[in-house]
Amino acid sequence: MTTNITKLLDVVALTTDLPEYNLWRGQVGTVVEVLADGAAFEVEFSDRNGRTYESVGLRPNQIMVLHFEPITAEPSPVGVMV
């Protein structure tokens, strides 16, 4: 099983709408700060020219890490049933 640990500079997508910031599910941002040992993240949203239009503190359940290459599953330890 692979772990989905969010790290600094990960590209993420919103999993929920945040109308108070004019941000909507699916919008893509970059993690620019890891807060409280991973309990929250500062995510920056930029336009196509690289200009930041919003920077928001988010909880892990509000984002998902985007992967640009296939993820391979790690083999299960011998004798462990999944």
Span 21-69, pLDDT tens digits: 999 999 999 999 999 999 999 999 999 999 999 999 999 999 999 998 8
> Residue 1: what pLDDT?
37
Residues 45, 51: Cα–Cα separation, whole Å: 8
Domain 11-65: assigned CATH number: 2.30.30
- Model pTM score: 0.80
CA distances from 29 to 6, 22, 69, 76 (A): 13, 13, 18, 33
pLDDT at 75: 62
The domain locations on the chain are 11-65
